[in-house]
Amino acid sequence: MVIKPKVRGFVCITAHPAGCAAHVQEWIAHVKSQPPLTRGPKKVLVLGASTGYGLASRVTAAFGAGAATLGVFFERPSEEDRPASPGWYNTIAFTQAARAAGLYAKNLNGDAFSADIKRQTLDLIRADLGQIDLVVYSLASPRRTHPTTGAVHKSVLKPVGQSYTNQTVDTDKGIVSTVTIEPANDQEIADTTAVMGGEDWEMWMQALSEAKLLAPGAQSVAYSYIGPEVTWAVYKNGTIGLAKNDLERAARSIDSLLKLQHSGGRACIAVNKALVTQASSAIPVVPLYIAILYQIMKAKGTHEGCIEQMARLFATQLYAPTGPKFDAGGRIRVDDWEMREEVQAAVKEIWPKVTTENLTELTDIAGYRSEFMKLFGFGVPVIHYDADAEPHIPML
């Protein structure tokens, strides 16, 4: 099958298996080029392990610290005339590379919110690994079926309290326009918190603790974003921001659990940089901000992608000899280069000037598009996209 990109709005509905594999290899090569994580984790559970920060965390743990990794994710296999989802191919490529390097790597594909997948995960850890010393919580889903109530919660990306109007960009067509987003109602706020908040993280950590599958000193980290004021209405102060507040509440609760019952373990939130991900592409206003940010940070030589962010998080924070540094809210900040005063001042200067006509001049919209396509395995230089590709690859 010759596989070409088919973009629908903010998502590509096809993925290229060889392209995804090459992209994963790029990430592995970056981690191997860095000093080894001599103090790093040894047995790692990654929840949401197939794309983005979750996959980058798994690559960093495995190829930076030689860790055994268990990945949990929910990805779609190929169908007769349709490739699998990119996370499916990413995971196969990672697993092949890890096992070739002599590392333990196993996978569970299913709904991580469900009680059944939790049970399967606990059973596999008990049988193969004994205890886990790092749990990475990096789930990103638009919906959650609650394992206790059976209620289906769907998240929304909306402001809270009042409507919000600002400029945004159609990254496919390159058109800058004004968008108005109506505020969420109380049910939408509650549903978004149920999906993207901290309850499920707490359920996972409680289940692992009760099953005695957490090693002494075990750590857990979940990922968040704060960003600049220009994005706050749809992020920090919007429905997703309120959900992230609940994630921080959960971090404090889990931190207490780990400190008291697991010999001084730790749980925390890492606030990461704005990056092109499947999730961020869906948030109005944010893609335009990212395109401006990339232009500025690349010019300053401080731009990082997912893998560079996670490599820095593990090396200079989570597993640094002196331990992590926290902000006033108890969070690790690897968005620090993004939030530098001179970077944000440049964003503020450029933001009101951007139009459809000068988009390519004032922003890195080309870099945004390139990173977006690489999420799906397209635009990787070493791949011949006119050649036949085999889409039907079984999960390892």
pLDDT of residue 359: 97
Average pLDDT of the residues of the chain:
96
92 in a domain, yes or no?
Answer: yes
> Which residue is catalytic, options 235, 289, 319, 368?
235
Confidence of residue 14 (pLDDT cuts 50, 70, 90): very high
- 233 is a domain residue: yes
Residue 162 CB neighbours (<10 A): 8
Q: What is the pLDDT of residue 116?
A: 98
Residue at 86 is within a domain: yes
Q: What pTM, to 2 d.p., does this model score?
A: 0.97
The count of other CB atoms within 10 Å of the CB of residue 182 is: 10
Residue 350 lies in a domain: no
Q: The domain spanning residue 216 has which CATH number?
A: 3.40.50.720
The residue segments making up the domain with residue 95 are 7-155+191-286+302-337
With respect to residue 387, please indicate whether it lies within any of the assigned structural domains.
no
Residue 270 has pLDDT above 80, yes or no: yes
Three-state SS at 212: coil
Q: In this structure, is residue 352 part of a structural domain?
A: no
CA–CA dist 287, 298 (Å, integer) = 16
Provide the H-helix boundaries in 80-114.
86-100
Structural domains of the chain, count: 1
pLDDT in tens, 76-129: 999 999 999 999 999 999 999 999 999 999 999 999 999 999 999 999 999 999
Decide if 359 is inside a domain: no
Concerning whether 53 is annotated as a catalytic residue, the answer is: no
Which residue in 100, 90, 103, 22 sits closest to 64, CA to CA?
Answer: 103
3-state secondary structure of 377: coil
Model confidence band, residue 267 (pLDDT cutoffs 50, 70, 90): very high
366 Cβ partners below 8 Å, 6+ apart?
A: 360
> Side-chain half-sphere of 30: how many Cα atoms within 13 Å?
20
Across the range 198-212, mean pLDDT stands at 98
Per-residue pLDDT reduced to its tens digit, 156-182: 999 999 999 999 999 988 999 999 999
Residues 54 and 47: their CA atoms lie apart, in Å, by 7
Q: Does 163 map to a domain?
A: no
